Amino acid sequence: MTHRLRAFAATAVALALLAPLTAQADPLADGVAAFKAQNYPVAARLLTPLAQKGVPAAQFHLGLMRRFGLGVSEDADAGRELNRQAAIKGYPQARQLMVAECLGDAGDECPQALTWLRADADAGNVEDETALGAMYLLGRGVDPDPVQAVAWFRKAANGGDVRAQVQLGAIYAGGAGDVAADPAQSLAWYRKAADQGDESALRALALAGAG
């Protein structure tokens, strides 16, 4: 073997030995992947130390596992606290979960969730505009205010959010508080939602004989 070939072979061997060392593990990505694959024991092993270090994605996923006893002991309060910590750090899914809980049962964290939601809605996120409209409509974290609800639903609906379009169709169908019924607007918004394939809008149009 020539000197050049021996040098090439030595380099190849060295690179082969170094390869396992340069392939860095990613416990967070692996933990989230295990969570999505429903391999909860592995997810818990990988995510727990990261959650303890304050990594928001780990806190969010481990929080879900604690709430429902997935691979860990069930503790709904501990799960909510983990989610709250992730939400404080700005993790979007954690904030969305808090908003969903507020819309469902008006939890204690509704005022904080409303603050985050309003900031995101002001930034033009149509999904958050729709959620903020729902908070005002149902009175979650604020007094019920159908006028404000309609204003936020309209912003989102004009941005193409089908849920907001359906909500406007429903509100204008019968009116709500200071928002008067307006059958023409109701049908117009239902048609926009129906054009996107929304089944509830299609049913509403059929019931109104406007399909």
The whole-number pLDDT of residue 155 equals 96
Residues 85 and 112 in one domain: no
Q: 74: Cβ–Cβ under 8 A, 6 or more apart, which residues?
A: 66, 67, 68
Nearest Cα to 204, choosing from 169, 160, 157?
169
Please check whether residue 50 lies inside any domain of the structure: yes
Mean pLDDT of the chain: 87
Could you write out the DSSP letters of every residue in 103-171? Answer: HHH--TTHHHHHHHHHHHHHTT-HHHHHHHHHHHHHTSSS---HHHHHHHHHHHHHTT-HHHHHHHHHH
Main-chain dihedrals φ then ψ at residue 122, nearest 5 degrees? -60, -25
**Does the pTM exceed 0.85?**
no
Please check whether residue 128 lies inside any domain of the structure: yes
Q: Which domain holds residue 146?
A: 108-211
- What one-character DSSP code corresponds to residue 53? T
Residues 115 and 66 in one domain: no
The model's pLDDT over 32-52, given as tens digits with 9 standing for 90+, comes to 999 999 999 999 999 999 999
- Here the CATH number for the domain that contains residue 177 is 1.25.40.10
% of the chain at pLDDT higher than 70: 87
The model's pLDDT over 131-174, given as tens digits with 9 standing for 90+, comes to 999 999 998 888 999 999 999 999 999 999 999 999 999 999 99
Q: How many independent structural domains does the chain possess? A: 2
